[in-house]
Chains A and B, each alone.
Chain A
């Protein structure tokens, strides 16, 4: 059975393209519409890696990472930020929260898989 990736993004378009790129590479995919939904999904489904947007309603990417790190079994789960934001200050904020990788939109499937495969295969 393949590895499972949780995609968290409030944009249905982004969830669709990320899901397509990952499924095409043989990964299992589950989706969440925001940080709060992601926490709920983590409680019921296995996730080997999380890809999250930064700016989302309910619970943003940084807050999500902080909560995931407190969730049992996910202290070391790789989390990749997928966002339009590229400021160093935001990246530093992400690193402090425990982000594992940072991809700036728009991404190519090769870029995405390159980062994902650093953590899972």
Chain B
């Protein structure tokens, strides 16, 4: 926008001033005193006329330019106002969308967290159960292990078998002593038998000698007969004893042989059982070693799970951090909406102001600006539709 200076103005001033100056300079004496004021009055009148026309043109040009600019501004204000108003109405939609996203993300994060924590709990429970079962086998917390108990029990069983074999061996040894004693008794009974035979012989000799003595030997013959009877009875008893001893010896011998056979068999079985027990315990030890190794692996997995827990706990927190960052965007958005609405109001007010200016301000301000009556007249004429020359 701008009001251009009339291009012919300096030429017009020159055209007016030059003849006046020439006229004044060409005259002399009293005539110069008369002509000069008249010439300057005429020149002033001519200049007034020129300036008045020029002012009229400028006023008209100024007013039209202002009106055009004002209308353009009004249009622009309306466009800006409409655009701002339209965009401001979208901001609550953006905010609602963001809020909805935050809510949905939070719900999803909670579900993920809940699911993850259940998985962790189950994994730990499983590990705990396996550890408990393993501890029952291998011992721990001061309790004897099942394996140790089994080893001990099996050891006791094999120990008992060995003890039993030892006991049986002792009994066999006693039996052997008894058999020797029986043999000794048998030998003693042979001696008694010999004594009885000798006694019988002596009794017979005594009876012969008694018969030879006649009447005097009658009493002695009775004694000799009694001795003979005793010797015979002794022999009978010795035979009985020997019979019994032989029988006992036979029975004991049979039992001894059986027992000896059994003890050999039992020893073989005990050795076999001991071997089986030893192998079983070794297998059991191997199985426990393997289970221990697996449990160690499980413990390492459990430890790794603890690290995963740490990572996931950190990750889940980013939902809250993101929520706060989105809230930090939402709050300025709400402020921006308020600012835009304020701008819409201000643009509306500016529009009104421009309209008012268009209607009033041009004429009024020029009316206040122009201090001379002639200027006001030009303004009034121009506003009333009188176009100046050259426009």
Q: Indicate if the CB atoms of A109 and B109 lie closer than 8 Å.
A: no
Interface hits, B294-325 → A, CB 8 Å: 309-310, 313-321, 323-324
Rounded to whole Å, the gap between the CB of A105 and the closest CB of chain B is 5
- Among B117, B310, B316, the residue within 8 A (CB) of A13 is B316
* With A20-B113, A55-B324 as contacts: A108 and B106 at CB distance below 8 Å: no
Contact check, A105 vs B114: say whether CB atoms are below 8 A apart: no
Q: Distance in Å from the Cβ of A47 to the closest Cβ of chain B?
A: 22
Q: Are B310 and A108 in contact (CB under 8 A)?
A: yes
A105 to chain B: which residues have CB within 8 Å? 317, 320-321
CA distance A109 to B309 in the complex (A): 8
B318 touches which of A16, A21, A24, A106 (Cβ 8 Å): A106
Residue of B whose beta carbon sits closest to that of A108: B310
Question: With A11-B106, A12-B106 given, is the CB distance from A17 to B323 under 8 Å?
Answer: no
Query: Judging by beta carbons under 8 Å apart, are A108 and B314 in contact?
Result: yes
Q: Does the CB pair B113–A17 fall under 8 Å?
A: yes
- How near does chain A come to B106, taking the closest CB pair, in angstroms? 6
| B114 proximity list for chain A (CB < 8 A) | 16
Contacts A11-B320, A14-B320, A106-B321 known; A20 to B110 CB distance under 8 Å? no
From known contacts A106-B314, A106-B318, A108-B314, infer whether A13 and B113 are also in contact, taking CB-CB under 8 Å.
yes
Given A13-B320, A14-B320; A109-B310 close (CB under 8 Å): yes
The answer for the CA separation of A55 and B320 in the assembled complex, in Å, is 12
Q: Which residues of B in the span 112-147 have a Cβ within 8 Å of any Cβ on A?
A: 113-114, 117
CA A9 – CA B324 in complex, angstroms?
13
Contact with B along A38-69 (1 / 0, CB 8 A): 00000000000000000100000000000000
A84 on the B face (CB < 8 A): yes
Asked if B317 and A107 sit within 8 Å, CB to CB, the answer is yes
Q: Considering the chains assembled together, what is the distance between the CA atoms of A21 and B316 in angstroms?
A: 12
A7 to chain B, nearest CB (A): 13
A88 in the interface, Cβ–Cβ < 8 Å? Answer: no
Tell me, in angstroms, the Cα distance from A26 to B317 when the chains sit together: 21
CB distance from A106 to the nearest CB of B (A): 4
B109 contacts which chain A residues (CB < 8 A)? 13
Interface residues of A in 77-119 (CB under 8 A from B): 84, 105-110
Chain A residues with Cβ under 8 A from B117's Cβ? 16, 20
A106 to B321, CA, bound (A): 8
| Chain B residue contacts of A84, Cβ below 8 A | 320-321, 324
Cβ of A17: which chain B residues have Cβ within 8 Å of it? 113, 313, 316-317
Complex alpha-carbon distance, A21 and B314, angstroms: 11
**What residues of B have a CB within 8 angstroms of the CB of A55 in the complex?**
324
> Min CB distance, A79 to chain B, in Å?
19
- Are A108 and B321 in contact (CB-based, < 8 A)? no
Inter-chain CA distance A84–B109, complex, in Å, is 18
List, in ascending order, chain B residues with CB within 8 A of A110's CB. Answer: 310
Q: In this complex, what residue of B is CB-closest to A9?
A: B320
| Complex interface residues of chain B between 263 and 314 (CB less than 8 A to chain A) | 309-310, 313-314
Q: Quick one: closest A residue to B314, CB to CB?
A: A106
CB neighbours of A24 from chain B (8 A):
309
Chain B residues within 8 Å of A107, by CB? 313-314, 317
Bound-state CA distance A64–B240 (Å) is: 116
* Bound CA span A12–B103, Å: 11
Is there contact, CB below 8 Å, between A14 and B317?
A: yes
B309 nearest CB neighbor, chain A only: A109
Q: How far is the CB of B328 from chain A (nearest CB, A)?
A: 10
User: Least Cβ distance of B215 to chain A in Å?
Assistant: 125
Chain A residues within CB distance 8 Å of chain B? 9, 11-14, 16-17, 20-21, 24, 55, 84, 105-110
